[in-house]
Every structure is written in structure tokens, then in C-alpha cells.
Amino acid sequence: MIKDLLFGFYKGCPLVVLSILILPGATKLVAVEKRTLIYGETTRLSTFDPYTVHEASGQRLGDLLFDSLVEISEGGRYTAGLAKDWKIENGGTSVLFKLKKNVFWHKRVQDKEWVKFTANDVFTTLRLLLAKKSQIPNQNRFDAIASSEILSPYLIRITLNRAMVDPLKPMVFKILPSHILGSNRELQRNNPFTTHPIGTGPYQFVRANKNLEILLRKNRRYYGKKPQIPQIVMKTYSDQSVMAQSLMFNAIDLITYVSPKDLAELSGDRNINLIPYDALSFSFIAINTNRGILRDKRVRKAISYSINRKEMLKAFFHEKGVLISGPFPPTSWAYNIDVKPIEFNQKRAKQLLNEAGVLKGDGKVKEGNKLLFLVPLSGKSEMIKRIVLAIQGYLGAVGLSIELRFMDWLVWKRKVLRDHEYDLTLASWSFDDASNITSLFHSKNTKAWDNNFVQYRNTKVDSMLTYAAVTNDFDKRRAIYHKLHSVLADDVPYVYLWTLVHHAAHNVKVSGIRIEPFSFFKYIGKWRIRDKLGRDSK
Amino acid sequence: MDWCRKSSRKIAVVFYIAFTTSIIFGCANIEKLFRPLLGSSNFDSHIVRNGDYFPLPIKKLFVGAILFERDYPTVAAAKKGIKLIEVRRLNRRKISENEANLSWSKDGSVLSFESIAQNVRRINLRDLRRYTAIKELIILKKRSDNFLNGIIKSDIHSYNAGLSWSMDGGKYAFMSNGGMGNYDIYVGELGEKARVIAPNPAKDGYALFSLVSQELAFVSGRSGNGDIYLMNLKNDELQRLTYSKRVDIFPEWFPSGDKIVFSSGSSNNHKIGIVTRSKGKRTWNKPYILTYWKGDSLRPTVSPNGRYIAFYSDFNEGGTNETRWDIYVMPYQSKKVYNQWELADMKVAEGVLVDLNTGPAWTPDSKKVFYVKKDATRFNPICSYDLYTGKNYILKTGTKMNRDILLSKHGILSFRAQVGAWDRVFIALTNQGYQLQKDRYRPRQIEYINRKMGKGNGL
């Protein structure tokens, strides 16, 4: 199979193949082929750079091809990437970076010499990221950065728009090459660079074929831990289960995501290892606290009581996740373990609905109180339909009737985030690295397109959020967040559902694998693969 | 004396069968479950007359069958169109497990399905001719020769899936890891202990019995990338049928038992491949690809008359990024290979849910294809397409999030659907059974949904 792929690659450059074959090293080529890591993804990428693509598979590919100035390591610590050292200045309004000198850009066929990485590359990257016409999904994630200033070829200052408690957070972005993109005003999807990316990362892009199988070769001048696997091939599958079967039939070596329905079969195969990693996000039912009966906290609480989250987690995700009681990861310092997830109790739910006076004598909701539940449809997954169908059943059992309205993702965004024309919806947020939830619950963020689309207003919560954002005393901040957690669980602007545990799976011939959820291939330098004869890539 | 000797031998045989099957299945009264298979039954020999369309066991199972016979007193009226007679849950027990992956015995009398809990997947059997409870097929843990034998508990649950029945209903095959982490094909027979065939450390799966012989096709990873193998159970001869460097998966027999169709691909580029038996010989010809186009083509199923192959494909003529799966039906002609332009015109359903467990479901008369429409507002209803009239049907089963559709010989539609948060198995009686629909085959032109096909495709 890999030979097929390589043949496809070589067809375009027959002279190169010939020169390899007649060299003494030609026999090595076969050995190299055998020690190729083939991994599977399920989203088709149209571009391969780290910015114009927004799929997670593109981010993972970006980890192999590109580097950032600093990286986030275990426990949220920052470690050096392309920057050798850094200094936070002016109370967190700017950061001065001293860059590494022994870093080279991947060499293209037409390049005569290896091009060095300099401060100019950082400057160009930031210029492109901040250019309004650049086609970068979620470009507002770079809003915190104001400008950059080159002080010397290896010294650059990046200034922020305001003082930040954690000024390194916005600095975790991949660096693009100035010698290729320097003359571009913005980064467009049709730029040839997006399909022939050049980075400084541990692997170098070689070629993609018509099936979007991407061949990468190790960067032999990589400044960091040198990779031990000579080649990597990324394959795209249109079905998750077909990808899982390909892994079990030994056709590929690793899949980055295992669908819950395939987990049991994969875990029953002794040739396959499963690696759990946090999804780094949580799912919830958003309740528009500014509409009809939902203004009443008792009704919101009743909704929360009526839903059997434990059963859904078991039925849909084989219990590969954790029920949560607030908007933080259970492992976070901000999570208050004393606040327990609301138990499934439909009797209590009915009692609360009766107290709120929304039910008629027959136990059904009064006329005009039907709730509008908007459901976004995006991607291939059927899971969202399964979840809302179960929720409809649970709410129906306590007398609440909902009108489910499925809609395209963009329409959903307009209806929910801009117009706030909904009662309930299903959504998920990525956990904030710093557990900052100000944008989600502060009453100043209730305007169109703001993140507080549940229209939650609580002056007590506002003042706690404001105080927590400015204090540098960690203990105080933690105490405030624990209190916030308790208030937000009691007020029920969200029905907090769960945070999931995802799984990657690999053949046992791949070893040394360690996965960071925010940077899948971060430790690729330590990965090894055995060939058919059992020889290690090391 | 003679009579006495014969009787005692019969009793001994019955005891032997009961004893050995209880070892295999680990359930009491197993003999009761399989008595119909051992004894006589009129299930398969029902003669259809006006006002009498279903065998007695089906009438006992579906009250609606009798009403249907009353409402449609003539065969001509009863067989017209697609009629959904009655829908019911197969298993009314309240259990916290999902049910999936259905399979019918060849005579349509036994339905198997799998129940899934955590990392355990069990195969359950339900004999529709009897009101017996659902029986579980338990695989004993494989013996491993180490000192822990007898010390540790040996009831480790195994992952068992993909049950397939032999033509005579006497043998069954399925994939199991035996509780030991190595997926093999197990073959069992009434009165015998299930055994592993062609054991290998690599995964074996997707076992499927030939419809005419004691041959079993399966997929094995022993070649390094998934290939189709054939095991002749008469002499335990193993043969490798495909040699591609791609993954060859989802094998499906032609009813004649001389051809196997499958999906072959290395990523999002699966084609439909076929391997045929050399005429009059036991050897097999070199496999070849039937579909040459850009689409990913998955899970082919062969019509019961062996003339058509239905499969899913995400081929997208418009070229938008959104993946949409459609069903295509391709007439099979020896050595005929289809190109993109021909295939693009062979679409029979759009925007469907891909069901890798069962594939597009054929009616016994090979005239209709059943599938699940990917429709959010209706929560994925079951639909059917009549190949010859071009008529589309939406079946009002009253169920939601349907999957794993199959039709038995007698027209019982089996599927799973979501009840609360769990997937449950349903059965629905239709008028699509062979006994009502059997008709002399007359070559006709398929009405594809874009109706661009020329004449002469109705093979």
C-alpha cells in the first residue's frame, strides 16, 4: 500500500527516482519505506497550513510541520519552542523574545541553501495573522496582539493590546516563513503555500496525492529532538469505522480518534493500544434565561433534574467521559468538587414545575409554553440527533414539550448568537486554558455575537468575575472561582452535561507514544516504529 | 427389540446434542431453542392462497398479519406496492444495553442481534417460530496453557460479532476475540462445539457463508493489509482470494456461490471489486475492480437474484466539500467494468445513512432496495426504492434513528431504532416476502433517479 503511494509520488519526478536507485544508498530506500508511520484522519483537508484550515486534523498536521515560539507543556507550563528565552515586560503588556539561532526552514527542491529562521519570520507571521483580509477561521483569537518590533535578527518584541495576567497565552502560534510569504499582504486559501507548506517542524511536507494521502519526511536539520520515524503518511477516510477496521487489519498504524461505537472492538484486540486523551471541551444545554418560563430558576432547575445524563453518557459514549457540574474541567483548580452534578430526579422536576405554575392539572405544560429547541447540524456525526431525541423524551416525561428545529450551522449561529431567538440549544465550549469564564457569564457580554448568549445576568457573578480577572493572588482567585462554580450550578444558565475522553488507537508496533490533547504530535520525536522484521526505527 | 434399540439410540443422540450444545451456548434448555431446526416445521413450505399469505408462526407473532389477510383477500391486492403491516419491539426487557447488528438465518426463522455493554458484545438469538426467550450465544474463553488455569475465573466476557448462517441453518460462524484479544472466526454446528478456523495472530472478521456450499469467506489481516480468504469447511482448505495492497473488506457472496464482491481501498478511495471462481474448477480467478471513479464505494450487497450490486458511494458530481452518501445499483455483467459516467447515472437514493453492518437491504424479489434516509427532521426514517417503477416509499414505522435494516425471506423487516437513549431491535411485517412477491423474472429497465441510463440495463 505504501509502495502504491510512493509510486504515485515518484511518478511526478522520474529523474529523482532514477538518481536514488543508482546511488549506493538505494537499498536503504526499501528499509525506509517499511518504517513509515501511516495514520488515519476522517476530515478531508483542502489546505495544509496551520491557519487557513480549521479542522482538528489540520492542527495535528500543523504540529508535525510547524513550530511556535513557546509551547504549552504538562500542567499548562510554557516551554521554549523557537524562542530560546523570553521576558514579560511592562506588567504583562509585551513580551521580548530571544530566538534560537540554529533553526532552518524545510528545504525545497528549488532551494540551493538552507534558509535560517529569524525574527523577520515572526514579524511576517503576525502581519499576516492580523491582516483583515487573511482567510483565517476564528481570526479573533489573535485580537490580543497589537504589534511586533524587530530589534535584531534574533530579538523581537510582541506587544499586546492590554496587560494580561498570562501574556504568553496568545504567543502560542505557528510561525510562517518570511522568505516565501514576505511579499504577501494577506494569507489567502488559494496561496500555493497552503498546499505546499514549508515549516521548521520535525517533519517536512513532500507531496499529497489525489486521495489526499500526504507524505512527510523527517526534517534532518530539526533543531529539537530528532524524529526516529523516517516517514509519515497521513490518510483520509470518509468513514470512521472503515478507518478503525483498516487499523485492525494492519493497513495503517494509528488513528487519531476512535468513534465511541468502535471502542469496544478495538479494545478487545491485543494488537491495538488505546490512548485516552481529554477532549478539552464540555457539552451543555444552553438555556435562554431571558425568555418566557425560562426566566424562572425553578423551571431551569427542573429541566436539569429531568435529564438523565448518566444514562446518555453510558448509551452514547460507553461512559468515556465525566459528568460535570460547572464550566470547568474536573481536573482544574477552578473546579469546586463540593458542587455535585444535579441528580436525575423527575419527581423533583415535576414538583419544581408545579411550584413555578407552568403545568396544567393533567401534568402537561400550559398553552404557549412550548419550548423552542434549536439544533445545529454540522459534520457527519449522527450523535447530536441521538442526544436531542433522548432529551426530548426526558423533558416530555415531566410534561415539558419542546419543538425541535434542526438547522444549518451558520443559520444556528445567527439565531442563537446574534438574535437570541431560541429557548434551548445544545452546544459545547472548549475549556479555557486559564479557566476564564468571564465572556460566558458576565452581563456585559450579552450583546449580539457575544459569548453570553444565554443572556445570563447576575450582578454578584459580574463582580466576582471582575475581581477574579484583576487579582494576582492565586488563592483568592481560586476561592472566587469555587464560589462562582457553586452560584452557576445553582442558577442553571446551562444544563452542564459532560466532558468527554477521546481515544487514539495504534498498532503495538508503534511505541513511545505520548499524546498531549492540545498538541497531538508534540512528542513525535520519541515515537518509534518496528518494521515487519521487528527492527525498531531507532 | 430392534425398535427398542433404535429408540434408545435416538434418545442417546438427543442427549448428546443437548449436552454438547449446552456446553457451546452455556444456556439451559438449548434443545428447546433449536428443536424447530431439528424437527419438522412448515415455516418454509407455506403455500400462498388468496387470504392466506403467512406461515402460522408469523401470524402468531404479528396479529396484524391476520387483519392484513382479511383486508386484502386476493394475492394480487396483497402484493401491490409496499405495505407495512405491523411493527413491534423484538425484546421488551428494560436493559441498559444497546442492541445492534442484525442477521437472519437463511430460512428467515432465526434472527440474531448483538447487545453491547461497555467492552462486551454478545450475540443473541431469537427463534421467531417460538415464544422462547432470547438466547445468548456465549463463547467459552479460549484455553491458554499457563499456571493460572483453574485459579483465575474463566468467565471473561468476549467480544462476539457478525453472525452468519449456513444455507441449511445447521452451521453458524462469527468473529470473536475469545476473551483473549485475538479476533478469529468461530464456526459452530448443532451438536458440536464451536471451533476456531484458520487461527492466526492477525485479525480475522466479516465471515460469511456461501449460499450454496460449506465455504466461508472472511477478511484477514494476516496478509498485512486485509484480504479476502476462503475456508472450505469440508476439508479445512484455506485459500487466499485477493492480493491487493489495499484493504479488501465487506465480502458478499453472489447467490450462485461462484463470485464474491467486496470493497477495496487504501483510504477514501474504495472501489467495488469482484473475484470469480474458474468455471468447473475449485480455483479462483484474479480479482478485478468493477467501479472506476473518484467516489469512495462501500459495503456492496448483491440482489437475491444475483443480477445487481447495490453500494454506498460519496461520489459528488457537483464537487462541494460536504460529504453526502448515495446508493447506486449496478447491473452485474461478466467482465463489465463501469466508468465514472456510467456509474454517476446509476443512483437510486440520495442522502442516505451508511450502514456498514448490513449495507443497502434487498427485498427477496430483487426489485426494491431498503435504506435509511439521513433526514434530521424525521429522525432518519426507513425508505424504499422500487427499481422498476422508480417509486420512493417512506415507511411509517413510528421509530426514530433507524439503522441496520434487513429483510428476511418472509418479508420481515428487522432494524434497530432509538428508544429513550438506547438502541433496540424492531421487527416489522411487510408484504415483501418471497411467498407473496415471487414472480418469473422478466428483464426490465431500472428507473434510476436521474433516468439517464439507456436501454438494456435490466439484466
Tens digit of each residue's pLDDT (9 = 90 or more) over A321-378: 999 999 988 888 889 999 999 999 999 999 999 999 998 878 788 877 899 999 998 7
Residues of B in contact with A5 (CB under 8 A): 266
Tell me the longest C-alpha to C-alpha distance in chain B: 81
Residue B98 at interface with chain A, using a CB cutoff of 8 Å: yes
Residues of B in contact with A312 (CB under 8 A): 421
pLDDT at A291 over 90: yes
pLDDT at B116 over 70: yes
Residue % of chain A over a pLDDT of 90:
67
Interchain CB distance below 8 Å, B247 and A235? no
Lowest mean pLDDT, pick from A272-281, B82-91, B171-180, B258-267? B171-180
Q: What is the mean pLDDT of residues B394-421?
A: 95
Interchain CB distance below 8 Å, B119 and A3? no
Continuous H helices in A363-473:
383-397, 409-413, 438-441, 459-470
For CA atoms A400, A406, A412, A418, the dihedral sign is negative
A533 vs B74, residue with greater confidence: B74
Beta bridge partners of A519: A516
Determine the pLDDT at residue A461.
96
Distance from the Cα of A332 to chain B's closest Cα (Å) equals: 27
pLDDT at B321 over 70: no
Size of the A and B interface in Cβ pairs below 8 Å: 147
Cβ contact B215:B237 at 8 Å: no
Residue % of chain B over a pLDDT of 90:
55
Question: Which of B203, B450, B253, B438 has its CA nearest to residue B345?
Answer: B450
Q: What is the mean pLDDT of residues B259-281?
A: 93
The three-class DSSP label of residue A430 is strand
Determine the pLDDT at residue A91.
85
Determine the pLDDT at residue A536.
67
pLDDT band at B34 (very low <50, low <70, confident <90, very high): very low
pLDDT in tens, A141-177: 888 899 999 999 999 999 998 887 788 988 999 999 9
- pTM for the full model? 0.87
Q: What is the DSSP letter of B150?
A: T
pLDDT in tens, B122-177: 788 888 777 555 666 655 444 444 443 333 333 446 788 888 988 887 788 999 88
Residues of A in contact with B249 (CB under 8 A): 242, 245, 249
Determine the pLDDT at residue A92.
86
Residue A46 at interface with chain B, using a CB cutoff of 8 Å: yes
For B81, residues 6+ apart whose C-beta sits below 8 A from its C-beta are B391, B393, B431
CA geometry: angle B217, B223, B228, nearest 5 deg? 20
Compute CA distances A186 → A13, A51, A67, whole Å: 31, 12, 20
**Which H helix or E strand runs over B98?**
strand B98-104
pLDDT band at B92 (very low <50, low <70, confident <90, very high): confident
Q: Which residues 323-382 on chain B approach chain A with CB closer than 8 angstroms?
A: 323, 353-354, 356, 376-377, 379-380
pLDDT band at B250 (very low <50, low <70, confident <90, very high): very high
Over its C-alpha atoms, chain B yields an Rg (Å, rounded) of 22
Q: What is the mean pLDDT of residues B283-304?
A: 94
Residue A314 at interface with chain B, using a CB cutoff of 8 Å: yes
Q: What is the mean pLDDT of residues A393-404?
A: 95
Determine the pLDDT at residue A75.
65
pLDDT in tens, A445-500: 999 988 999 999 999 999 999 888 777 788 898 999 999 999 999 999 999 999 99
pLDDT band at B32 (very low <50, low <70, confident <90, very high): very low
Q: What is the mean pLDDT of residues B300-311?
A: 96
d(CA B122, CA B117): 9
Cα A202 to chain centroid, rounded: 21
Interface test with A, best of B182, B266, B292, B326 (most A CBs within 10 A): B266
Interchain CB distance below 8 Å, A389 and B418? yes
pLDDT at B26 over 60: no
pLDDT in tens, B59-88: 988 999 999 999 999 999 999 999 999 999
Residue B157 at interface with chain A, using a CB cutoff of 8 Å: no
In whole numbers, what is the pLDDT of chain A averaged over residues?
88
Lowest mean pLDDT, pick from A6-20, A503-517, B80-94? A6-20
Q: What is the mean pLDDT of residues B193-199?
A: 86
Q: What is the DSSP letter of A436?
A: -
Interchain CB distance below 8 Å, A239 and B267? no
Q: What is the mean pLDDT of residues A128-138?
A: 91
The one-letter code for the residue type at B288 is Y
Beta bridge partners of A406: A375
Q: Which residues 233-252 on chain A approach chain B with CB closer than 8 angstroms?
A: 235-239, 241-242, 245-246, 248-251
Residues of A in contact with B221 (CB under 8 A): 248-251
d(CA B384, CA B417): 17
pLDDT band at B42 (very low <50, low <70, confident <90, very high): low
Determine the pLDDT at residue B134.
62
Interchain CB distance below 8 Å, A386 and B226? no
Of all residues in chain B, the one with the smallest CA distance to A404 is: B377
The three-class DSSP label of residue A149 is strand
Query: Closest to B267 (Cβ–Cβ): which among A236, A250, A265?
Result: A236
Residues of B in contact with A254 (CB under 8 A): none
Residue B203 at interface with chain A, using a CB cutoff of 8 Å: yes
Residues of A in contact with B400 (CB under 8 A): 389
Determine the pLDDT at residue B106.
84
Interchain CB distance below 8 Å, A238 and B266? no
Q: What is the DSSP letter of A414?
A: I
Interchain CB distance below 8 Å, B221 and A248? yes
pLDDT band at B195 (very low <50, low <70, confident <90, very high): confident
Of all residues in chain B, the one with the smallest CA distance to A252 is: B225
